[in-house]
Amino acid sequence: MKLALCLSVASVLFLFSCNNEPDTIKINNEDITNTVNKDGAVETSVSVNHLDSLHDILITKHKVWADNKEYRNIEYRDTIPALGIEHTVAENKDGDTIPAHIKKDYEIFITIK
């Protein structure tokens, strides 16, 4: 019950902080913070790690804060297809350029409704 209440409160607070204009870019980053309100918040991180040549792993972590205590950690791992190899040019510390083959990275976009 407490978890559901915390998630509901965090969702409502986050919705009020969102920009409702769909096709505009918000230049003012007033919502960016270096600290988390540990009184009641959900802290989320999303990352993608390369597993092998065919697969990557999408990792989503949620840290739930309530009453200045870490209430719970929730982690999801999903296997997703790898995007393949990108051929580019890299520069070493001496300024020499050499061809490099690196794995393509996913771009992460988050939409909150």
pLDDT per residue as tens digits for the range 84-97: 999 999 888 888 89
The whole-number mean pLDDT for each consecutive block of 10 residues of the chain, a chain of 113 residues, reads 46 47 56 82 93 94 94 96 92 89 90 78
As a whole-number percent, the residues of the chain with pLDDT over 90 amount to 48
- pLDDT for 55: 95
Rounded to two decimals, what is the model's pTM? 0.61
- Per-domain residue ranges for the chain? 2-103
Place of tokens 């918000």: 26
Total count of residues recorded for the chain: 113
Of the candidates 42, 47, 88, 89, the residue with the CA atom closest to the CA atom of residue 66: 42
Please give the full DSSP string across 3-19, using - where no structure is assigned.
HHHHHHHHHHHHHHHS-
For the segment 63-78, what is each residue's pLDDT rounded down to a tens digit? Answer: 999 999 999 999 999 9
Q: Cβ contacts of residue 85 below 8 Å, gap of 6+?
A: 101, 102, 103, 104
